[in-house]
Amino acid sequence: MSKVQIKVNDNGSLRVTGEVELIDAEGNVFPTKNVFSLCRCGLSKKMPFCDASHKGQFESCVRAEKVLDED
């Protein structure tokens, strides 16, 4: 199984790269490709996918905490 990557885009979507199964709360499968974007702002007309409705209306720049090597 290959590693899946999820990138938190500044002021935008979650970019998913890799083969994943995306399902709703009832277990129904959403059709996806190997690269797709999920909405974070709640404004998309194509939920759960991003349709760029966030542009100019959503701000979020999330950063992972850097872990220092103590060796």
Confidence of residue 71 (pLDDT cuts 50, 70, 90): low
Instruction: Give the model confidence (pLDDT) of 14-59 as tens digits.
Output: 999 999 999 999 999 999 999 999 999 999 999 999 999 999 999 9
Q: What is the dihedral of CA 59, 53, 22, 64, to 10 degrees?
A: -10
Q: Give pLDDT tens digits for 1-14.
A: 679 999 999 999 99
What is the structure's pLDDT at 13?
A: 97
Q: What is the pLDDT of residue 67?
A: 84
Domain spans of the chain, in order of start: 1-58
Stated as kind and residue range, the H or E segment containing 51 is none
The residue type at 64:
A
The answer to whether the CB of 59 falls within 8 A of the CB of 11 is yes
35-52 burial, b for 16+ CB within 10 Å, e for fewer? ebbbbbbeebeeeebbee
User: What's the DSSP call for residue 9?
Assistant: -
pLDDT interval class at 69 (50, 70, 90): confident
